[in-house]
């Protein structure tokens, strides 16, 4: 269906009428037509990057309970923010969120800017998040295009270009419905998101229940299940590594704070080798001897965005001071000891929480 055959005002009104009756209740939304707090929108949108709504809900509620305002978040220690983020993954989001809060608190009087250019200057705020804040919080017209909206537009206009190349065409089509229409920009954006999550789903779309199906070329031609088309996925690289779990005679485990840059930056975990595509054991230990009591535990598998990891945990029993002597130079100074029963798995990245579970099953 061509753009010219769709009346954008009718399209919006049909969608909004459905949204008024069927919109989702989410902890970052306000009832009664009130526009959400921009801090809540920013926090939820950053959490929702690469993460499902269901997984985000509890984290969002926990965050705003600990840090009710953006100024409260700015006053937090970064390590506390990343610890509260543990389990959500993509930890650079947490670090950038904290930097964003600092910038707003220190240089903008604790208030989010409305201007898009000013929003884009904030750490961790890209074009999508800036548009979402402007539209959802401040009710400004903005082309807020997430995966749900891309899918809806691909079906409405029967776009045949495979994604990801076809995403730009979907974004251009979405802009057609923005224009300079009066009011309810916030609701329109959220209505599209809800339609994609509830009706126009990736698989088995509920076209019979869709409030805008009469505008949909894919529905008209029986193509909804087939769109959007996607280019074949490349094989995910496989990496391997070894994690060392030192335990001393005081039942303490050796932990490290990872470097400030790179994967799982600044997070707490167990010392490990480099993660390489070749399955070879690289030593963290300077001079492993037969005197060490070593036990290999069950291999842990974990999936990151761009690769899969198989990590072999090695349990090493040794005296506290002697264990520290065996550390590689790169690790010294960033490690500390903690009793196995006092380690909070919820504050560890999921990868290391899996290892801690194995270690506890072995030792406790």
**Nearest in space to 114 (alpha carbons), one of 186, 21, 215, 25:** 186
Active-site positions read 45
**Nearest in space to 97 (alpha carbons), one of 48, 28, 170:** 48
Distance CA 170, CA 156 (A): 10
Tokens of 212: 């805008």
Distances, alpha carbon 204 to alpha carbons 71, 136, 193, 198, 225, in Å? 43, 28, 17, 11, 6
Q: Are 155 and 224 in contact (CB under 8 A)?
A: yes
Q: How many CA atoms lie less than 13 Å away from 250 in the CB half-sphere?
A: 11
Distance CA 194, CA 146 (A): 11
Length, in residues, of the chain: 364
Report residue 82: phi and psi, to 5°: -65, -35
Distance CA 201, CA 157 (A): 16
Specify the 3-state DSSP secondary structure of 328.
Answer: coil
Distance CA 14, CA 8 (A): 10
Tokens 């964003």 appear where?
A: 100
Tokens of 302: 């974990």
Tokens of 28: 């970052």
């Amino acid at each position: 269906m061509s753009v010219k055959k769709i009346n954008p005002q009718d399209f919006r009104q049909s969608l909004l009428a459905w949204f008024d009756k069927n919109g989702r209740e989410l902890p970052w939304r306000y009832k009664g037509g009130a526009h959400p707090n921009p801090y809540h929108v920013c926090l939820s949108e950053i959490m929702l990057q690469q993460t499902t709504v269901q997984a985000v809900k509890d984290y969002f509620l926990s965050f705003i309970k600990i840090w009710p305002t953006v100024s409260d978040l700015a006053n937090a220690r970064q390590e506390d923010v990343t610890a509260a983020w543990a389990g959500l993954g993509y930890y650079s989001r947490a670090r950038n969120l904290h930097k964003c809060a600092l910038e707003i608190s220190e240089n903008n009087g604790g208030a989010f800017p409305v201007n898009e250019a000013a929003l884009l200057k904030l750490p961790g705020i890209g074009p999508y998040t800036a548009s979402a804040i402007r539209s959802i919080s401040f009710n400004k017209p903005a082309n807020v295009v997430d995966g749900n909206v891309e899918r809806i537009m691909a079906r409405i206009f029967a776009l045949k270009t495979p994604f990801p190349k076809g995403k730009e065409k979907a974004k251009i089509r979405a802009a057609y419905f923005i224009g300079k229409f009066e009011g309810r920009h916030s609701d329109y954006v959220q209505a599209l998101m809800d339609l994609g999550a509830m009706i126009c789903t990736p698989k088995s779309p509920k076209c019979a229940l869709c409030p805008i199906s009469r505008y949909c070329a894919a529905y008209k031609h029986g193509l909804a299940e087939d769109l959007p088309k996607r280019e074949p996925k490349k094989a995910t690289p496989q990496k391997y590594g070894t994690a060392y779990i030192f335990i001393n005679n005081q039942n303490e485990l050796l932990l490290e704070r990872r470097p400030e840059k790179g994967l799982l930056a600044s997070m707490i975990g167990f010392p490990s080798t480099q993660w390489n595509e070749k399955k070879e054991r690289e030593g963290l230990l300077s001079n492993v001897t037969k005197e060490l009591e070593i036990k290999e535990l069950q291999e842990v598998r974990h999936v990151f965005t761009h690769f899969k990891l198989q990590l072999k945990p090695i349990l090493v029993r040794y005296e506290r001071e002697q264990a520290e002597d065996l550390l590689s130079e790169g690790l010294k100074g960033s490690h500390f000891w903690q009793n196995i029963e006092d380690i909070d798995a919820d504050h560890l990245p999921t990868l290391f929480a899996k290892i801690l579970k194995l270690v506890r099953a072995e030792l406790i």
